[in-house]
Structure 1
Amino acid sequence: MNLSTASALSESKRQETSTRASRHIGLLLFERCCIYNAGVISEAFRLANELQPGSGGQPAYRLSLMSKSGGNIATSSSISIWTHHLHEYAVTDFDALFVACSKSEAMADRDPHLLSWLFGGERSLHDARDRTSETTVDGARTRPATVPIYWFKDIPMAAWSGVEAPVHLALAKIEADFGTHIARRVVSELQPQPLDHPNVMADDLSITTTTDKIHASASWIKENFSNSISISDAAEVAAMSNRNYLRRFKAEYGVTPQQYLMNVRFELICRLLLDSDLPVDKIARRCGMGNGDRLGRLFRRRYGMSPTSYRAEGGLGAEDLSES
């Protein structure tokens, strides 16, 4: 059998399987998940439904969002997403399962119950770890004999460099089901700008400008201002070296990342002093300032008065604030 005949048969078989009932895709999310990653996976399969209709009026794919608790879960952007409870399904209910495994959380080390659901039975953690390492092409982790499980690091798009982007995994599934042509069309819809080279595929989706990366890191700082944040942490989000990140950030915002962080913190501190009755010490802890003594020293240095005086006087005038 020559290559052209084999290719034709393969395409024929793919077209034949594409006419079956909707493929059920599961997307397992966790609290504080990145809403962009969930959205881009969902959008890829939605576009595939438009470009490759299923049979009998059914879509080619149907997507179920799940979490361990079910119901509304919070995302890193403080937007809630509604999800099904994990145990409404078995893994075998799906044609493929996508798992938002965060970079900072080693799921296999912290949740044996989840692994039991994923792989079945009360196996040891060591055995479960071994099973999660069974790898196929495109970064998929497979449950033996049946359902492919796609693990991805649930991190901001700016930090995708060097890792398998979630959208790439969704495109790999679409390409496996419906061929390169449909996958390319999904790419063109996700990224409507003309591609510079006819052979460019999904890899282009991970290319972002330096400005995009700096803005993403600034958003990350705003979301995590109450935590201890280092330059290395923020530079990692932007996928840059510390030195380059500091230079680029200051060029974009006119302040260093540390100053930007303090501006974010003090903006909330001032709001809480005026709009709440929280004690200064509690405000300090909530805003990542340690304790009331430290907040008092920094507040006086910044505004020339103590936090309690600021509260008593109803804040600063617009002119004073602009000068600070």
Structure 2
Amino acid sequence: MIGDVVVLALEGGHAFELGVFCEVFGIDRSDGALPVYDFALVSAAGDSVRTRHGFEVRASHGVDRLASADLICVPAYDLAVPQPDRLTDELRAAAERGARVMSICTGAFLLGAAGLLDGRRCTTHWRYTDELARRHPRARVESDVLYVEDGPIITGAGTAAGVDTCLHVVRAAHGSAVANAIARRMVAPPHREGGQRQYRERPQARQGASPLSAVLNWIEANLDRNLTVEEMARHAHMSPRTFARRFQQEVGTTPLQWLTGQRVLLAQHHLEATDTPVTAIAGRTGFGTVDNLRHHFVRRLGVTPQGYRRTFRAPREE
């Protein structure tokens, strides 16, 4: 569980990525019964730092604050701006004591300098993956994903993928209902899988933004049916081949992979928010059988549906 969150304010830092961390973890949403974090903005370079955009950000704490953090967030920064050696020492010490460390975009380079990427899968913005691999040859850099979690280290790709990365961490800590509620407050897509391509459109296009918008909504409304690519293509008024190609281009994955992901998300909702038997959930989500539901659930989330329910089922109010 995450309670104590620290965000680093870095010299030459990027404002958007810093803002994403602050937006997800630094806002009191208790009015919506959502988690409230013990949040701190930390600088290793004095009370304030100058961003790459020219304005200053004032931090409320020094590096010592990292010692108590459950989660340390490292935003993007200008790689030409050196960061204090003490910062990498503190990041290494935090990871060794069990804290989770998360970066967005070029923030991964600071994790690499601390040795936290050695032997681990990781990512950064696609423009910098080759450089990250060159500087840290022991890291297993993946160039075409939105985010990667390997042990206590989470790395996200550039800019908007930072939102996906943060929501993934929230989902793992508090369940999909909390992550989805925060996403709605942020007016952001509730879920994009880490393996989706960095340069693709979001998996669910906004209304009117794409010819696929209507068919995506139709698929979501019919997840309990035995849908085929041919049927989806007919609904989109395309040939199966054209539909599959357009879907890959706009969504970043295949129709059946996206369909399976949506079914798993729906199953998560039922497991968290209802007492519906797993056999009924398998039918309502289109998996048909418990064995099929369990297969895809374990493959995607690494846990059985029953195990997921035990972990994330919200306690009933008396």
**Normalization by structure 2: what TM-score?**
0.40
- The structure with more radius of gyration: 1
